[in-house]
C-alpha cells in the first residue's frame, strides 16, 4: 500500500515538474521581448525543478542522498532569480543606451 502511495506521489510531482518546464520553454519561444521571456523561464524553472527534486527526494526516501538533493534545490532557488535579475539588468542598460543613441541622431 505504502509503495503505491509513494510511487503516485513521485509520478505526480515529476509530471508536474515536466509540465512547468514545458510551459517555461513554450513561454521562452512565444513571449515578445527579453523581459517577458525572463518571466516565463525563471518562474517555471523554479517550480519545475522544485517539483522534480521533491519527487526524487520522496523516491530516495530519508537518506543522505535526499539531503544532497535538498541542498541542490535550495541552490537552484537562490541562483535562478539572481541569474534572471542579471540578464534583465544588462538588457535594461542596453535599452537605455540605444534609446539615447536614437535620440542623439
Partner 1 sequence: MQQGKKRSAVFLFILLFAFWMILAADIDALSIIVGLMATLFVVLYGFDLIFSSQEASRFTFGFLFKSLKLMVILLKGIIISNLQVAKIVLSPSLPIKPGFRTIKQPLKKDLNRTFYGNSITLTPGTLTVKLTDKDIIVHGLEPEYLDALNESDIQKCFIDLERL
Task: Give me the residues that bind partner 1 (CB under 8 A), please.
Answer: 19-20, 23-24, 26-27, 30-33, 35-36, 38-40, 42-44, 46-47, 50, 64-65, 67-68, 71, 78, 81-82, 84-85, 88-89, 92
Largest CA distance in the chain: 73
Nearest to 24 by CA among 1, 44, 51: 44
Least CB distance to partner 1 at residue 39 (A): 6
* Residue 6 · residue 58 · CB < 8 Å: yes
Q: How far apart, in whole angstroms, are the C-alpha atoms of residue 92 and residue 96? A: 6
Smaller CB separation from partner 1, 32 or 61: 32
Smaller CB separation from partner 1, 10 or 37: 37
Amino acid at each position: 500500500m505504502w509503495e503505491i502511495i509513494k510511487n503516485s506521489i513521485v509520478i505526480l510531482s515529476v509530471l508536474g515538474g515536466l509540465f512547468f518546464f514545458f510551459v517555461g520553454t513554450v513561454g521562452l519561444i512565444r513571449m515578445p521581448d527579453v523581459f517577458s521571456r525572463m518571466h516565463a523561464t525563471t518562474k517555471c524553472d523554479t517550480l519545475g525543478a522544485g517539483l522534480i527534486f521533491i519527487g526524487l527526494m520522496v523516491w530516495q526516501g530519508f537518506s543522505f542522498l535526499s539531503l544532497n538533493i535538498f541542498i541542490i534545490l535550495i541552490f537552484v532557488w537562490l541562483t535562478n532569480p539572481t541569474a534572471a535579475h542579471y540578464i534583465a539588468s544588462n538588457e535594461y542598460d542596453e535599452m537605455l543606451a540605444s534609446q539615447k543613441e536614437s535620440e542623439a541622431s
